[in-house]
Amino acid sequence: MRKAEAAFEAELAIVRPELSAGYAAALPGARAAVLGRLWRSLLYEPLPGLAQPGEPAGLVGGPAGLVGGPAGVTDGPAGVTDGPAGLAEPDGRQDGQVCVALVDGRRLRGRARLPYDLDGEPALWLDGRPYTHPAELLAALALPGTTRLVHDLDNSVASLALSRAAATARALSPSGIDGLNTPEDYEQSVVDGHPYHPGCRNRPGVSVAEQLAYMPEHRTTVALDLVALPAAACLVTGPWPAALMDGDRLLLPLHPWQTRHVLPALGLRPYATGAIPARPLTSVRTLAPVDGGPHVKTAFSTRMTSSVRDISPGSVRDCVPLSRLLAALSGRLGGRLAVAGYLAGAAARVGGEHSADLSAMLREPTPRAGAETVSPVAAITREMVRDPVTWLAAFARLALEDTLGLLALGVALEAHGQNLLVALGRDVLPYRLIYRDLADVRISPARLARNGIETPPVSPRLLTDDLDVLHGKLLGSLVGTTFGSLVALLGRRDRATEATLWDVVAAAARKAFDELPGTPDAHADRDAVFGTHITVKAHLLAQLDDAPPGDRWTRLPNPLAGARQRTS
């Protein structure tokens, strides 16, 4: 047991001893889950220290049938064992083996893995020695700039094991798992976090007790605090509600973690503690008040997954104009896509500047008609899907009509499984979509102008006419993450079934383009959707010790390119 795992175990024995046995039992599976995500990054990201630049991540022998990938799967002898653990290397009889070469001559071997595969890896072999823990493997690889990443992977494994242990305990309790009825129930049903990020449950600076108290997968309710600030000194966008005012003071909702860890250093104390009971949603720092009303996005100034979850003053300024733009564009498309927009935002002035640590935004609650099921796409399970082909066809039609329509007008959404929600009808098929969290969209002023739309007053970082950026933002999230994870979930590594599902997505994309005006912009978008490669976020590369701020990217073989060929 590594240091982080032991630290979690020791704290758990004090705060929730009844989970200790479940935590220990969950560790091997958590290690395998994070190791699988790490293996994907090593296979497909251009990381320093890997050989053969110009090929995806220094591959020596790529997965069979990988469009645009290196050919030649290396099949090794069956049942080869090496190392003290006596683990067998992959035998090559099903998916084959693949090897990553390091610049120092060492080789890392494991199962061939397509970019969208979801399952974990029980072991990888570095020069014949098996590694079952991702942090131990990354430390042994000694790639440049990965010192902090080793600690992040340790934390991700321990936190994931804690999440899984609590979920198992709920399932085994006498009353069984609580039914999923409300959007918040589905939000809190996501146990494993990001399907492809090695830091899927990385939460440095958040203790075991705090994770149990604040994290959505623990099915908790969090009581938000309020801090009173001179309204005249605050940056405010949109109409701030009268219920959150006290005379000339603005009452800013604050996460209790922020109250404990950040507020004292700012020389402030809460005006009221526990004032707004709310349920944390998938993103952790956005919460739905139990009594209804707008969702509250709070600052939570520590790294979770990979980013510090504060709220920049720029995001506060942008939130309302962005919401109005998305609502107007959705209206142009016939209102097919519901946008959960921001109503208001505020940031306090601290030390002469507006603070990302002391800010909040208020967002429209998730729209729900009657008793319909509304769920983040990330919370969709196999049990919710009766017929994978029919279900995915309905979802793909909606998702591609909405997102490609918006792209043609001038906005590229980051349509991953947390930002995109799906409403299911009585037949449990998707019939409408909801988009939320607008901070990472990209806007093309030139496309807006060609459609007679004025560019809103937003931060320059959101504005670009670069097609590679626009296409990477949308396709990296929608194809690379959303469709990829759904195809993997429903296909279960049956490559023939997965190919059929990708054909379904491709057919929906062709239909969506056929219904759009045949403009040069739409033709460029079609070429990108069916191109040989797509650009996606490079999760590990972005977290290297010397990485610049912001996203980093890599190119993956596009599964829709092969689907187009099969069905054209």
Same domain assignment for residues 38 and 173: yes
pTM passes above 0.95: no
Write down the pLDDT at residue 568.
53
Write down the pLDDT at residue 173.
61
Domain boundary among 219, 241, 268: 219
Retrieve residue 518's tokens: 């045949």
Same domain assignment for residues 206 and 226: no
Same domain assignment for residues 135 and 215: yes
Same domain assignment for residues 296 and 351: yes
3-state SS, residue 5? helix
Write down the pLDDT at residue 310.
86
Same domain assignment for residues 378 and 359: no
CA atoms lying within 13 Å on the CB side of residue 84: 1
399: Cα separation from own chain's centroid: 17
Domain boundary among 363, 383, 401: 363
**Pairing mode, if any, of strands 97-101 and 107-111?**
antiparallel
Q: Smallest Cα–Cα separation from 462: which of 338, 357, 550?
A: 550
Task: Specify if 385 maps to a domain.
Answer: yes
Write down the pLDDT at residue 73.
28
Q: Which residues contact 284 (CB under 8 A, 6 or more apart)?
A: 214, 215, 216, 300, 304, 309
Same domain assignment for residues 390 and 421: yes
Write down the pLDDT at residue 473.
96
- Are 416 and 395 in contact by the 8 Å Cβ rule? The answer is no
Write down the pLDDT at residue 83.
33
Q: Smallest Cα–Cα separation from 59: which of 96, 48, 50?
A: 50
Task: Specify if 165 maps to a domain.
Answer: yes
Retrieve residue 362's tokens: 């208020």
Retrieve residue 128's tokens: 């014949």
Write down the pLDDT at residue 566.
60
**CATH assignment at residue 516:** 1.10.510.40
Domain boundary among 173, 203, 219: 219
Same domain assignment for residues 124 and 20: yes
Q: Which residues contact 467 (CB under 8 A, 6 or more apart)?
A: 524, 528
Task: Specify if 188 maps to a domain.
Answer: yes
**Tens-digit pLDDT string for the chain (568 aa):** 899 999 999 999 999 999 999 999 999 999 999 999 999 999 999 999 998 544 444 444 433 333 333 222 232 322 222 333 345 555 444 458 899 999 999 999 999 999 999 999 999 999 999 999 999 999 999 999 999 999 999 999 999 999 999 999 988 765 444 578 889 999 999 999 999 999 999 999 999 999 999 999 999 999 999 999 999 999 999 999 999 999 999 999 999 999 999 999 999 999 999 999 999 999 999 999 999 999 999 999 887 777 778 899 999 999 999 999 999 999 999 988 999 999 999 999 998 899 999 999 999 998 777 778 999 999 999 999 999 999 999 999 999 999 999 999 999 999 999 999 999 999 999 999 999 989 899 999 999 999 999 999 999 999 999 999 999 999 999 999 999 999 999 999 999 999 999 999 999 999 999 999 999 999 999 999 999 999 999 999 999 998 888 889 999 999 999 776 565 5
Task: Specify if 78 maps to a domain.
Answer: no
Retrieve residue 275's tokens: 């004032």
Task: Specify if 566 maps to a domain.
Answer: no
Write down the pLDDT at residue 88.
55
Same domain assignment for residues 176 and 236: no
Task: Specify if 81 maps to a domain.
Answer: no
Same domain assignment for residues 206 and 249: no
Same domain assignment for residues 336 and 377: no
DSSP per-residue string spanning 23-89: HHHHHHHHHHHHHHHHHHHHHHS--TTBSSTTSGGGEESPPTT-TTSPP--BPPPTT-EETTTTEEP
Same domain assignment for residues 207 and 249: no
Write down the pLDDT at residue 369.
77
Task: Specify if 256 maps to a domain.
Answer: yes
The structural domain count of the chain equals 3
Task: Specify if 368 maps to a domain.
Answer: no
- Domain coverage including residue 483: 373-557
Same domain assignment for residues 339 and 484: no
Sequence-distant contacts of 64-73: CB under 8 A, at least 24 apart: 64/95, 64/96, 64/112, 65/495, 66/114, 66/557, 67/532, 67/557, 67/558, 67/559, 67/561, 67/562, 68/532, 68/533, 68/557, 68/558, 68/561, 69/557, 73/97, 73/98, 73/112
